[in-house]
């Protein structure tokens, strides 16, 4: 059954795109009437069905007959921004030049996105279960958003026109544009005849971001052993303080050779120790294929906190696990916050590793951070153990647990973890739950 559904999915989007590109809204209405007339035509007592079916077929054949006569030539330049965001309207200009020697009217601009092949396992993972836990309700697995056609004014020979396309991305990740179509509608207004102009481009769609509360974390600078190269860029770096006499064990690179030549004894440079504040953002990527909605919400919550305004002297470490454990650091002098968002746009579910991989990675760097925000998918003994060990190491914590909307019983953190800052967010109600945290913190 699932194999048949997968095979039907492979050709259904292509047919849907073909219909959307070729048929105008009026043309799709005619097709809908034809389908209805087909069923009415089975009733021999009603003659309206066959007549309507014949009339609709004649109109579609006449409209499609005009398509071979459109042979326009165009130059197209699409000017995409570097990034977009899920749920936010994207508007960008498209420059079109008429390269024919005749005036063209009745044109429309059509955007064409590249096909994204989907493996069978990923297809099954994107089947959303019903409230009974059965995968009986199917949602679009490639819901990227749709760019509506835009009508153009008449174009004279050699004329250049700039128009704008608008749409709302529905899914994070790397989006590939294949071509721009310039179409002309037939005189009946039912059928489009597009000319495909290749225009390959790529756009990074960032995760959805929510308004998040200001979770106060310790900003006290902390000594960073071995962090000289990092500290030299932010906070209280290892800055030059003074010259002093050489002591056994001082590195040769700190010797001040000119002062040694002048004084006749070894002289070294003395530096201030490296201290700066460092916070961690821990993202749990360990979830099953039936928790796709929860995973996407967890990525959005992590992106919301990553984009939150913070002090310029505070570093933020993003820790997550994909094919291996990752740590990406943003802050003054290092990667900008926008790079963290681009990393989160491509974060996959962790399928080959276990949660203990993230556990070890976080504890390995716990001594460097003063505070952390943990975005976890669900609540179990493994996650409880990680949080308890971070608390034992003196890390100030805020734990946000994302649960599916079907979960009726909230997780029990225990009094020690609850006092540290434990919040439960329900998929589908993330904005409301975050607003509730904001109101509680203000109270």
Instruction: With respect to residue 112, please indicate whether it lies within any of the assigned structural domains.
Output: yes
Provide the sign of the torsion angle of the four alpha carbons 262, 265, 266, 272, taken in this order.
negative
Contact 170, 86 (CB under 8 A): yes
Same domain, yes or no: 407 and 379: yes
Same domain, yes or no: 187 and 332: no
Provide the sign of the torsion angle of the four alpha carbons 232, 235, 237, 239, taken in this order.
positive
Percent of the chain with pLDDT over 70: 76
The whole-angstrom separation of Cα 419 and Cα 27 is 62
pTM value? 0.75
Same domain, yes or no: 154 and 256: no
Instruction: With respect to residue 147, please indicate whether it lies within any of the assigned structural domains.
Output: yes
Same domain, yes or no: 295 and 328: yes
Contact 60, 190 (CB under 8 A): yes
**Of 271, 291, 313, which one is at a domain's C-terminal end?**
271
- What is the arithmetic mean of pLDDT over 14-39? 78
Same domain, yes or no: 317 and 426: yes
Same domain, yes or no: 13 and 159: yes
Q: How many other CB atoms are found less than 10 A from the CB of residue 40?
A: 16
Instruction: With respect to residue 226, please indicate whether it lies within any of the assigned structural domains.
Output: no
- What is the arithmetic mean of pLDDT over 93-99? 95
The whole-angstrom separation of Cα 153 and Cα 149 is 13
**In this predicted model, what pLDDT tens digit does every residue of 127-138 receive, in sequence order?**
544 433 444 344
Residue 82 has pLDDT above 60, yes or no: yes
Instruction: With respect to residue 212, please indicate whether it lies within any of the assigned structural domains.
Output: no
Range of the domain at 357: 277-442
Residue 69 has pLDDT above 60, yes or no: yes
Instruction: With respect to residue 157, please indicate whether it lies within any of the assigned structural domains.
Output: yes
Same domain, yes or no: 114 and 73: yes
Same domain, yes or no: 247 and 370: no
Same domain, yes or no: 104 and 172: yes
**In this predicted model, what pLDDT tens digit does every residue of 240-299 receive, in sequence order?**
556 778 778 777 777 878 887 888 888 887 655 455 678 899 999 998 767 888 999 999
What's the structural domain count of the chain?
3
Instruction: With respect to residue 233, please indicate whether it lies within any of the assigned structural domains.
Output: no
Same domain, yes or no: 281 and 265: no
Q: Which pLDDT does position 430 carry in this prediction?
A: 93
- What is the arithmetic mean of pLDDT over 408-437? 86
- What is the arithmetic mean of pLDDT over 59-79? 83
Q: Which pLDDT does position 113 carry in this prediction?
A: 84
Same domain, yes or no: 344 and 411: yes
Q: How high does pLDDT run on average in the chain?
A: 80
User: What is the CATH number for 319?
Assistant: 3.40.50.410
**In this predicted model, what pLDDT tens digit does every residue of 153-209 receive, in sequence order?**
999 999 999 999 998 988 899 989 989 999 888 888 888 888 889 999 999 999 999
Q: Which pLDDT does position 270 carry in this prediction?
A: 64
- CA distances in angstroms from 389 to 320, 363, 392, 421, listed in the order given: 18, 8, 5, 15
Q: Which pLDDT does position 210 carry in this prediction?
A: 93
- What is the arithmetic mean of pLDDT over 426-441? 80
User: What is the CATH number for 139?
Assistant: 2.60.40.10
Question: Which position has the token pair 């974060």?
Answer: 347
Provide the sign of the torsion angle of the four alpha carbons 212, 214, 216, 219, taken in this order.
positive
Same domain, yes or no: 267 and 299: no
Residue 443 has pLDDT above 60, yes or no: no
């Amino acid at each position: 059954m699932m194999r048949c559904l997968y095979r039907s999915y492979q050709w259904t989007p292509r047919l849907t795109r073909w219909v959307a590109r070729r048929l105008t809204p009026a043309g799709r209405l005619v097709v809908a009437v034809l389908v209805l007339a087909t069923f009415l035509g089975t009733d021999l007592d009603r003659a309206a069905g066959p007549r309507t079916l014949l009339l609709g077929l004649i109109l579609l054949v006449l409209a499609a007959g005009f398509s071979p006569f459109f042979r326009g030539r165009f130059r197209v330049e699409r000017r995409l921004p570097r990034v977009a965001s899920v749920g936010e309207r994207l508007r960008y200009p498209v420059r079109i030049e008429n390269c024919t020697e005749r005036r063209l009217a009745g044109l429309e601009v059509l955007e064409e996105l590249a096909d994204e092949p989907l493996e069978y396992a990923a297809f099954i993972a994107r089947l959303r279960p019903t409230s009974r836990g059965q995968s009986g309700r199917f949602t679009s697995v490639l819901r990227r958003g749709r760019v509506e056609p835009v009508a153009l004014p008449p174009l004279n020979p050699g004329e250049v026109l700039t128009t704008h396309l608008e749409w709302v991305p529905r899914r994070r990740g790397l989006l590939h544009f294949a071509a721009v179509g310039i179409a002309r509608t037939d005189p009946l207004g039912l059928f489009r005849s597009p000319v495909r102009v290749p225009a390959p481009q790529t756009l990074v769609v960032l995760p959805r971001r929510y308004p998040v509360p200001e979770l106060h974390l310790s900003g006290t600078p902390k000594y960073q052993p071995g962090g000289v190269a990092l500290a030299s860029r932010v906070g209280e770096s290892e800055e030059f303080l003074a010259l002093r006499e050489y002591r056994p064990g001082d590195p040769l690179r700190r010797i001040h050779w000119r002062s040694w030549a002048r004084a006749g004894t070894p002289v070294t440079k003395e530096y201030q120790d490296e201290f700066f504040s460092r916070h961690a953002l821990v993202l749990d990527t360990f979830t099953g294929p039936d928790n796709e909605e929860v995973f996407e919400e967890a990525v959005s919550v992590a992106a919301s906190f990553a984009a939150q305004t913070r002090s310029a002297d505070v570093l933020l470490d993003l820790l997550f696990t994909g094919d291996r454990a990752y740590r990406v650091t943003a802050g003054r002098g290092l990667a900008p916050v926008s790079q963290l968002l681009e990393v989160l746009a491509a974060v996959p579910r962790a399928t080959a590793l276990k949660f203990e991989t993230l556990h070890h990675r976080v504890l390995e760097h716990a001594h460097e951070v003063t505070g952390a925000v943990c975005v976890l998918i669900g609540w179990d003994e493994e996650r409880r153990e990680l949080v308890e060990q971070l608390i034992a190491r003196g890390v100030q914590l805020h734990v946000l647990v994302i649960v599916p909307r079907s979960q009726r019983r909230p997780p029990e953190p225990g009094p020690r973890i609850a006092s540290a800052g434990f919040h439960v967010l329900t998929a589908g109600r993330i904005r409301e739950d975050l607003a509730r945290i904001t109101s509680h913190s203000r109270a």
